């Protein structure tokens, strides 16, 4: 004589049938049911697979590879204008104009689209009949103690880039077979301002460092012709309008009075970076600027050992300091 299954077995069968009906209506529920019936060992294996890294960690960090010119996209096609600028032909905007003018050929054909993707290691690229080298110059970064009287534009007799003439003359000995880099300033200092300025051939780095959204602090030492009183410091601290925008400094503090003269020095820090901002702040307070010198960008400070007109190549830690990172 057959007996009915125990009540707990009947209940389990009924639940399984109900779950199967629901799974047919909603396929997503079938995964939940399978997970509920999985054994602890199977669950452990799933967790182990999820915890395991998809790929092995890179040998160097992204920042390190960028600094040492191990470009992550080195073997991937890039925009033609970007490749020409990286090769030292000209600025990216000028390179785009050369392309539009039909002065650039790729694999024997004139190319007039700057966004055309090219592989410099495979494609044959000519500009004005001159072949572009398969090798790109390395990324270079320098801190310069700019002298007063030098301008930041390229191609002028007293351009700050002219301070690198001797360095570039010996380039073929330093980097044989590699084209000379096209150096330019990161941001600007007016002709009457001295002190710290960065020189590079890395356009992306320059854009990142100089863009207003970066909010990178810049510190200046202002020498005033005459005494500075408390009301002057208050007026500077309250800020002034420049091009219709209220600019307020982040730091204003007096420094020592120069013993051999009646001149006073003030430390001022700003992050907007507007044209002539520090001079406007000081003059708006009724003071006359005798000299203006930039001494810090981000966390990177101009070394007192770096002579006027001299430069030093920067390390990876210096680049982080420029961005305000520790």
Domain 62-131 top-level CATH class: alpha beta
Computed over its alpha carbons, how large is the radius of gyration of the chain? 31
Three-state SS letters, the chain: CCCCCCHHHHHHHHHHHHHHHHHHHCCHHHHHHHHHHCCHHHHHHHHHHHHCCCCCCCCCCHHHHHHCCCCCCCCCCEEHHHHHHHCCCCCHHHHHHHHHCCCEEECCEECCCCCCEECCCCCCEEECCEECCCCCCCCCEEEEEECCCCECCCCCCCEHHHHHHHHHHCHHHHCCCCCCCCCEEECCCCCCEEEEEEEECCHHHHHHHHCHHHCCCEEEEEEECCCCCHHHHHHHHHCEEECCEEECCCEEEEEEECCCCCCEEEEEEECCCCCCHHHHHHHHCCCCEEEEEEEEECCEECCCCCCCCCEEECCHHHHHHHCCCC
Give the pLDDT confidence score for residue 212 in this predicted structure: 79
Beta-strand relationship, 289-297 and 193-200 = parallel
Yes or no: say if 266 and 224 are a contact pair by the CB < 8 Å rule. Answer: yes
Is 50 exceeded by the pLDDT of residue 65? no
- pLDDT tens digits for 157-191? 789 999 999 999 999 898 888 889 999 999 999 99
To the nearest 10°, the Cα dihedral for 138, 142, 146, 151?
30
The answer to whether the beta carbons of residues 104 and 98 sit under 8 Å apart is yes
How much is the mean pLDDT over the chain? 82
CA distances from 89 to 26, 125, 137, 312 (A): 61, 12, 11, 24
On whether the pTM is more than 0.75, the answer is no
Q: How confident is the model at residue 26 (pLDDT cuts 50, 70, 90)?
A: low
Q: Which carries the bigger pLDDT value, residue 88 or residue 18?
A: 88
Whether the pLDDT of residue 89 is over 60: the answer is yes
pLDDT band at 16 (very low <50, low <70, confident <90, very high): low
Which string of b and e fits 280-308 if b means at least 16 CB within 10 Å? bbbebbebebebbbbbbbbbbebeeeeee
Counting Cα atoms < 13 Å in the Cβ hemisphere of 1 gives: 1
Which residues are annotated as catalytic?
190
More confident residue, 148 or 274: 148
The residue among 135, 119, 127, 20 whose CA lies nearest residue 76 is 119
Residue 280 tokens read as 């406007």
pLDDT of residue 69: 45
- Of 248, 244, 143, the closest CA to residue 189 belongs to 143
- Is pLDDT larger for residue 222 or for residue 245? 222
Tokens 């007996």: give the residue.
3
Residues 287-321 have pLDDT tens digits of: 999 999 999 999 999 999 999 999 999 999 999 99
Domain boundaries, the chain: 7-51, 62-131, 141-208, 217-297
Could you tell me the pLDDT band of residue 111, with boundaries at 50, 70 and 90? Answer: very high
Phi first, then psi: give them for residue 301, nearest 5 degrees.
-110, 140
Residue 39 has a CB neighbour count (10 Å cut-off) of: 8
The rounded distance, in Å, linking the Cα atoms of 283 and 275 is: 14
Q: How far apart are CA 87 and CA 127, in angstroms?
A: 11
Checking if the pLDDT of 247 tops 80, the result is: yes
The single residue listed with the structure tokens 């880039």 is 161
Residue 10's pLDDT is 56
pLDDT digits (tens, 9 = 90+) for 96-110: 999 999 999 999 999
Q: According to the model, what pLDDT value does residue 234 have?
A: 96
Residue 3 has pLDDT above 60, yes or no: no
Domain 141-208 indexed as CATH 3.10.450.50: no
Topology given in CATH for the domain delimited by 217-297: Alpha-Beta Plaits (3.30.70)
């Amino acid at each position: 004589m057959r007996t009915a299954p125990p009540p707990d077995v009947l209940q389990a069968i009924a639940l399984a049938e109900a779950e199967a009906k629901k799974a047919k209506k909603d396929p997503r529920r079938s995964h939940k049911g399978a997970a509920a019936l999985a054994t602890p060992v199977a669950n452990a294996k799933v967790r182990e697979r999820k915890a395991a890294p998809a790929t092995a960690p890179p040998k160097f960090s992204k920042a390190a590879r960028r600094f040492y010119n191990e470009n992550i996209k080195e073997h991937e096609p890039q925009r033609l204008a970007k490749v020409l600028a990286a090769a030292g032909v000209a600025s990216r905007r000028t390179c785009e104009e050369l392309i539009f003018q039909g002065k650039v050929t790729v694999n024997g054909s004139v190319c007039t689209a700057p966004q055309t993707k090219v592989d410099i290691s495979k494609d044959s690229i000519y500009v004005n009949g001159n072949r572009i080298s398969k090798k790109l110059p390395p990324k270079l970064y320098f801190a310069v103690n700019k002298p007063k009287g030098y301008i930041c534009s390229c191609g002028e007799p007293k351009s700050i880039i002219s301070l690198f003439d001797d360095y570039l003359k010996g380039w073929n000995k330093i980097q044989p077979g590699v084209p000379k880099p096209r150096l330019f300033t990161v941001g600007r200092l007016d002709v009457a301002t001295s002190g710290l300025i960065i020189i590079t051939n890395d356009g992306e780095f320059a854009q990142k460092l100089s863009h207003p959204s970066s909010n990178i602090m810049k510190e200046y030492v202002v020498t005033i012709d005459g005494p500075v009183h408390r009301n002057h410091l208050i007026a500077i601290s309250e800020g002034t309008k420049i091009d219709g925008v209220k600019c307020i400094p982040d730091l204003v503090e007096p420094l020592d009075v120069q013993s051999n003269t009646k001149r006073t020095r003030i430390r001022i820090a700003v992050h907007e970076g507007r044209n002539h901002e520090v001079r406007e702040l000081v003059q708006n307070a009724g003071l006359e600027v005798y000299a203006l010198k930039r001494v810090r960008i981000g966390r990177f400070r101009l070394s007192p050992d770096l002579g006027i007109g001299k430069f030093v190549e920067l390390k990876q830690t210096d680049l982080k300091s420029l961005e305000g990172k520790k």
